Amino acid sequence: MQSAKPTPSAHPNSIDRNKAIVWSRYLIDSSDWLLFATKVTYLHADRSYQGLEQPKLVSLSVLTPEGKVVFEALLRAEEMVHNQVIAQHGLEQSVVFNARPFSEIAMQLTRLLEGKQVLCWDLSSVQILFDELCVEYGQPPLVFSGHSLRDEYARFVGEVDAGGKNYKLQELKTNGPSAVAQCRALLDTLYRMASSSQKTNNAETGNLGWTGQFYKPKLSPRDKIKDFLGF
């Protein structure tokens, strides 16, 4: 006799889950943000480096909230890079052929992101990377303003860590290795959050505050998903 499959545990705090859902819906309704992702491969992962000079291959992409690629680039490496390393970035050959110096990439990003916020999986790690690159290549600081989907998604999922005090960070599941694939995974995760019901089995009784108000997007997540998928 086969044992029954375990039932997933309910979210430990429905208010936190609702906050994450409402956050995703407000973001979808706004138009002042872009998706941004980077991929970094260290060329000598078996060696120990100090400071900012560790050779690395960096690719990045910027997508609109509708999923359109508006910028994709590969940082021109200062040493020979094996084809198998480049292949790990999942880039079109045209992007590889037109690898750019960092000064050009920074200038393009500054123009694209003016007046915009970015949605990254982990914004802090992106900022650290570009702080290092700006110093390494002698460029003015490039400061990003925006959101980390990783933290909101952890609050949405509600899996607690071993200590029981914090939400466990989840992995971003992508369909491909490229930065573009990461951006599309961000968008898919955001829409799955926004289209989820705020009702939970263990909702607290009494006044839920602003999370008890079922925020209605200007255009429903279902309709936006249809537009995004071209239905």
pLDDT of residue 41: 81
DSSP 8-state assignment for residue 212: G
- The DSSP symbol for 160 reads B
- pLDDT: is 190 or 42 the higher one? 190
pLDDT higher at 217 or 123:
123
Q: Is residue 16's pLDDT more than 70?
A: yes
pLDDT value at 18 more than 60: yes
Q: Is there a domain that residue 75 lies in? A: yes
Amino acid at 177: P
Q: What is the pTM of this model?
A: 0.80
Quick check: is 20 in a domain? Answer: no
Tokens of 173: 């599941």
Exposed, middle or buried: residue 69 (CB in 10 Å: 0-12, 13-18, 19+)?
Answer: middle
**β-strand 146-148 against 117-120: which pairing, if any?**
parallel
Q: Give the CA distances from residue 27 to residues 108, 140, 158, 165, 202, in Å, rounded to whole numbers and listed in that order.
A: 24, 29, 20, 27, 26
Percent of the chain with pLDDT over 90: 52
* 134-145 tens-digit pLDDT: 999 999 999 999
Read off the amino acid at residue 42: Y
Within a domain: 116: yes
Confirm whether 7 is domain-assigned.
no
- Answer yes or no: is 138 within a domain: yes
Stretch 163-169: mean pLDDT = 86
Q: Which residue has the higher pLDDT, 140 or 84?
A: 140
SS3 assignment, position 202:
coil
pLDDT the model gives residue 201: 47
CA distance 54 to 42: 7
What would the mean pLDDT of 38-49 be, rounded to a whole number? 71
Section 74-80 average pLDDT: 75
- Asked if residues 98 and 76 have their Cβ atoms less than 8 Å apart, the reply is no
Give the H or E element holding residue 186: helix 179-194
Tokens representing 29 are: 């309704």
Question: Is residue 220 assigned to a domain?
Answer: no
- 19 domain residue, yes or no: no
In a domain, 63, yes or no: yes
Instruction: List residues bridging with 33 in a β-sheet.
Output: 117
Query: How do beta strands 56-63 and 69-74 pair?
Result: antiparallel
Q: Average pLDDT over the chain, rounded to whole? A: 80
Tell me, what's the pLDDT at 115? Answer: 92
111: containing domain: 30-197
- Kindly tell me if the per-residue pLDDT of 1 is higher than 50: no
> How many domains are there within the chain?
1
pLDDT band at 31 (very low <50, low <70, confident <90, very high): confident
In order, the DSSP letters of 99-121 are: -B-HHHHHHHHHHHTTT-EEEES
Look at residue 163 in the predicted model and tell me its pLDDT.
75
Closest CA to 56 of 48, 64, 45: 45
The reported pLDDT for the residue numbered 134 is: 95
Q: What is the CATH number of the domain that holds 94?
A: 3.30.420.10
